[in-house]
Structure 1
Amino acid sequence: MIQQQRLVEEFMELVQIDSETRSEQRIAEVLKQKFSALGLTVQEDDSMSRTGHGANNLFFTLSASEGVTAPKLFFTSHMDTVTPGKGIKPQLGEDGYIRSDGTTILGADDKAGIAAMLEAIRVLKEQQLAHGQLQFVITAGEEAGLKGARAMDPKLLDADFGYALDSNGAIGDIAVAAPTQAKITITFLGRSAHAGVNPEDGVSAITVAAKAISRMRLGRIDKETTANIGRFEGGVEGATNIVVEKARLEAEARSLTQARLDEQVAAMREACQSVADEMGAKLDFQSEIIYPAYMYDDEAPVVKLAKQALTSIGCTPRTFHSGGGSDANVFNGFGVPTVNLAVGYVDIHTTQERIAVSDLVKTAESVVAIVRQVQA
């Protein structure tokens, strides 16, 4: 059913199109040509005017077969990659894995998902398999913090539920939960003074920040919640004779439940405020929810359908809770139930990234199986 050689060739073609995040122009044009050539309608939003990325989000729709009234499905992947992603040279090894030449990433994250979608559409058409309406959503800016999806016009989504093809893990793994994330920026303003002449007249913002961090619970908070300080900056390079007036922290907190996230952010804020008050510093604490959480049990329709479809192609379904966010979080926030399916890529975001040909094939098979299962 799946034509392996065609699928591999298309995947290799896609990864050779440079599309580092913010530079998605060329890949977007190629994708519009490919999907339209297969008879799908093409729409795009105006998100690039808000994201500053090289392309809008793309929406490709395949009308339902005559007489089919199945639920409307959508599948989603992203078109951008991380760096270094220019001049990728894919090669198929004797072990059945596709890799780059070792100087770049491969880009299986997430062009494996896109290649699987295109192959699945071809199979549906060639085999004349009946199907309901299908929408394929390709986002820009996912690697830059889900920027494309977050700027999306949700009115262009036309689906009852759907699947992201963008998780690591073995084929059959289903991310049925993923956390919400708060991006936190903390600025302490102390008072400058000469560090050698009159340090007692100063209030070191660096000392305030360090003491505040020491009062925070960070790392693994509980089974649902994490927190981290990602950046600490302050002072002027080489100027050790100044009591530093300003220090800035960049941090995050994540949790599978909004209430626990709110508690963690509040605790971090309190740690900062208490130290600032004690030391006579000023505090600016900014927290923004980047994307919402989602969580489904095994009986949710979007999960049951995936498990049945994966079983039908010989995979062993396994549900798990992810610690990272994806476009699936954003789509759930739009009110469209979405889970994230593993596509089998390994060591993503590194020059050792690879994917097995067999996993490319199984990913395409899983798309076809889900489309067929929704009508069963």
Structure 2
Amino acid sequence: LVCDYLSTNLRILGFNLHEDSVGEKIGGNSGNLYGFLAGDESLEPLLFCAHMDTVEPANGKIAIFHEDGLITSNGETILGSDALSGVSAIIEAIKTIKEENINHRPIEIIFFIAEEIYGLGSKLFDYSMVKSKESYTLDLAGEVGSAAYKAPSLLTFDIIITGKSGHSNFKSKENINAIIVAAKALVQIKTGKINENSTCNVGLIQGGRALNIIPDLCAIRGEIRSYSNNETFMLLNEVIKIFSKTSEENGAKIEVNHELHIEAYETPLDHSVVKRFQNICEKLDIPCNLCATLGGSDNNNMEQHGINGLVLAAGMNSCHSCNEYTSVSELEKITEIVIELMNGDT
């Protein structure tokens, strides 16, 4: 429904659109939506992105507008400002440009699907149709004027420990409790913030079949994030080494699987995509805050295809919770920034 709504509005605004088949590949009901709007050919094209999907609970969302300009849900669902506030700002900026007949650069948009699933929609997108070399992704929490120039690699791992089951009341030397082996390994692993670049977390552990049976299987799932792609794998190898050694010492076996979902990027601070944003913030008297983030976004994937970009704060706060909110004033600010980025004067 979101994709259909946006397609209808973008066609009215003059965009040539293409919806890809990525949704079919991942079991979704829509694809990534790409659009191109012709503009002043003396200016370089610029790409604007946001994602259409949200986290749960989202069914039946109701936006409540408060007298002070705050916008919230009714508290039973998320609001969806992550990242529909970004989508809204892009659409409103284009409408304003059209209504006021403002000269603008060629504009490209991509509204991605499945960003919340480790950027899966943008990972599978075909970038061969994209003309822009620079982009702005509207998908960052915090005050408008903030922009992330740096984000981490994100890797998940699954470790399965296999022991040997038996009745807990008739334990023999042959029995190996897989949960105990996992516990012995877990206490040796450093989690949380490892250093200024990296974090490691173990988020799920499952094992056992009954209270009176020695568990022969234990599964551990976790993730590693790092601004250094190499360090991401170094930390993974340390985790595997600890689990392998502990399992061997206790007669258990392990199976390890991992997946790198997104790769780290760092856009140089002297890059034109950064300077342009800084100049516009100064022009609009909006404090500019260039920052690093440990959260990934679709920009991670675009950077791997030679498109340098920033991730802009777009009026989304307390994301991934039923306390999520945005405000009219913040939406107006980010829309003003997008209009200036599109018109090509800066």
Q: TM-score range by the shorter chain?
A: over 0.9
Given that 1:51 and 1:151 are in contact with CA atoms closer than 8 Å, whether structure 2 keeps it comes out as no
The residue type equivalent to 1:301 in the other structure is: S
Aligned to 2:295: 324
Aligned to 2:132: 159
Aligned to 1:347: 318
Describe the SS at the equivalent of 2:194.
strand
Query: Per-residue CA shift, 1:10-46, capped at 9, x if unaligned?
Result: xxxxxxxxxxxxxxxx111111101011110011211
Distance 1:319 1:304 in 2: 11
Given that 1:57 and 1:140 are in contact with CA atoms closer than 8 Å, whether structure 2 keeps it comes out as yes
Describe the SS at the equivalent of 1:267.
helix
Distance 2:31 2:48 in 1: 17
Counterparts of 1:164-175 in structure 2, within 5 Å, are 164-175=137-148
Aligned to 1:35: 10
Distance 2:233 2:251 in 1: 26
Aligned to 1:74: 47
The Cα of 1:165 is off from its aligned counterpart by 0.5
Counterparts of 1:293-312 in structure 2, within 5 Å, are 293-312=264-283
Alignment match of 1:94 (pick from 56, 67, 86): 67
The Cα of 1:92 is off from its aligned counterpart by 1.4
Aligned to 1:277: 248
Distance 1:261 1:74 in 2: 29
Counterparts of 1:219-298 in structure 2, within 5 Å, are 219-236=192-209, 239-298=210-269
Given that 1:179 and 1:255 are in contact with CA atoms closer than 8 Å, whether structure 2 keeps it comes out as yes
The Cα of 1:69 is off from its aligned counterpart by 2.2
In the superposition, the TM-score normalised over structure 2's length comes to 0.97
Distance 1:89 1:215 in 2: 46
Given that 1:199 and 1:243 are in contact with CA atoms closer than 8 Å, whether structure 2 keeps it comes out as no
The residue type equivalent to 1:334 in the other structure is: H
Distance 1:142 1:176 in 2: 18
Distance 1:201 1:263 in 2: 34
Describe the SS at the equivalent of 2:315.
coil
Aligned to 1:63: 38
Distance 2:262 2:36 in 1: 26
The residue type equivalent to 2:330 in the other structure is: D
Describe the SS at the equivalent of 1:314.
coil
The Cα of 1:296 is off from its aligned counterpart by 2.3
The Cα of 1:199 is off from its aligned counterpart by 3.6
Describe the SS at the equivalent of 1:95.
coil
Alignment match of 1:113 (pick from 80, 86, 92): 86
Distance 1:295 1:110 in 2: 22
Distance 1:33 1:183 in 2: 38
Aligned to 2:173: 200
Describe the SS at the equivalent of 2:340.
helix
Tell which deviates more after alignment, 220-229 or 184-193: 184-193
Aligned to 1:21: none
Distance 1:163 1:144 in 2: 20
Query: Per-residue CA shift, 1:256-290, capped at 9, x if unaligned?
Result: 01121121111111111111111111111111110
The residue type equivalent to 1:38 in the other structure is: L
The Cα of 1:83 is off from its aligned counterpart by 1.6
Counterparts of 1:5-44 in structure 2, within 5 Å, are 26-44=1-19
Describe the SS at the equivalent of 2:268.
coil
The Cα of 1:375 is off from its aligned counterpart by 4.5
Q: Does 1:104 align with 2:77?
A: yes
Query: Per-residue CA shift, 1:100-143, capped at 9, x if unaligned?
Result: 22222211111111111111111222222222211110011112
Describe the SS at the equivalent of 1:201.
coil
The residue type equivalent to 1:234 in the other structure is: G
* Structure 2 gaps, min length 5: none
Distance 1:72 1:340 in 2: 18
Distance 1:267 1:188 in 2: 16
The Cα of 1:301 is off from its aligned counterpart by 1.8
Number of equivalenced pairs: 346
Given that 2:33 and 2:112 are in contact with CA atoms closer than 8 Å, whether structure 1 keeps it comes out as yes
The residue type equivalent to 2:136 in the other structure is: Y
